[in-house]
Amino acid sequence: MDLTIGPIAFFWSAETVRAFYRTLAASPARRVVIGEWVCSKRLPFWQQEIPGAVECLQAAGKEVALSTLTLITLRRERRQTEELFATGLPVEIADLGALKHLPEGMPFQVGPLVNVYNEGTLEWLARKGATRICLPPELPLASVATLAAAGAAAGLAVEVWGHGRAPLAISGRCYHARLHDRAKDSCQFVCGEDPDGRDVETLEGVPFLTVNGVQTLGHSHTTAAGQIDALREAGVSSLRLSPQIGDFAGLVRFYDRIAQGGTPRAQALAGLRRLMPQASLADGFLAGAPGASLAD
């Protein structure tokens, strides 16, 4: 299995983005997906970094794709989607509506927030020109195995959520702005103040969710580290790592090591804990259990 770096979910400054992709260029990741994934209001603040990042990553031998938004609603957002397909770079769709703009016959990739739950959907997308699909994070291993087999038969690569806070929901409403008693239209970009999202706890102080603008993530870091061998056996070809603040390069190196297989579950999770001592880990989705749980 190789590694795919997903789009940055959070609102990072242009400088942070630039430094992040420079570091990634030297990492063992095989491919990188770049683009504003969550809120189109953020894009003007960092889009000037995209061409340089693409160039730097390609020069380092990475495959690069551009991601659409997760929720394409406004006219401006739809125009931007259309423009993505005109760049000549591979496009990863995060919303099925993007297919409206797909030039006839152009191959494309499918991100984890497009609902690919079964062979029928996967095969239809393959016929339409999909070359890679990252499956939704909530799918259990049995479904992943069925879909990986269907993907192999249809000639497309199947990827799963490898590491990062799982994207659980997207809304027209901005919960980040709401936490500052503001509306989405007057948000003053408060999500940029929390580069790993804003924690949400239960009333008894149990960490639960993370707010990231219009997106809601799990608080725990969802990891496939404990199920690498099962995923390899199922025919999954890539693990998706979701960018986060901290030693992300160290995480990429860690996953590159264990993606080759043969690391026992307990050892893989222990290794991850050493890298992220403060973080809670979860892998319930793959086990068909509550996503927040860690089958340990």
61-100: contacts with other proteins (CB under 8 A): 70-73, 75, 78, 81, 95-100
Q: Which is nearer to other proteins, 43 or 179 (CB)?
A: 179
Interface segment toward other proteins; rule CB under 8 A; list 27-35, 171-179, 259-267, 272-280: 171-179
- Cα 170 from Cα 70, distance rounded (Å): 8
Beta-bridge mates of residue 157: 132
In angstroms, what is the minimal distance from the CB of 17 to other proteins?
Answer: 20
Interface segment toward other proteins; rule CB under 8 A; list 15-23, 210-218, 240-248, 263-271: 210-218
Q: Is 122 in the site for other proteins (CB under 8 A)?
A: yes
- Cα 172 from Cα 65, distance rounded (Å): 26
Q: Is 216 in the site for other proteins (CB under 8 A)?
A: yes
In angstroms, what is the minimal distance from the CB of 160 to other proteins?
Answer: 13
Q: Is 166 in the site for other proteins (CB under 8 A)?
A: yes
- Cα 167 from Cα 67, distance rounded (Å): 15
With beta carbons less than 8 A apart as the criterion, state whether 44 and 252 touch: no
Residue 10's region, left for phi above 0, alpha for psi from -120 to 50, else beta, is beta
Q: 3-state DSSP call for residue 110?
A: strand
In angstroms, what is the minimal distance from the CB of 284 to other proteins?
Answer: 7
With beta carbons less than 8 A apart as the criterion, state whether 69 and 37 touch: yes
Interface segment toward other proteins; rule CB under 8 A; list 58-66, 132-140, 241-249, 271-279: 132-140
**Could you tell me the two tokens for 254?**
């860690």
Interface segment toward other proteins; rule CB under 8 A; list 23-31, 45-53, 121-129, 238-246: 121-129
Residue 107's region, left for phi above 0, alpha for psi from -120 to 50, else beta, is beta
**Could you tell me the two tokens for 274?**
């050493």
Q: Which is nearer to other proteins, 177 or 259 (CB)?
A: 177
Q: Is 157 in the site for other proteins (CB under 8 A)?
A: no
Which residues within the stretch 253-292 sit at the binding site for other proteins (CB under 8 A)? 284-285, 288-292
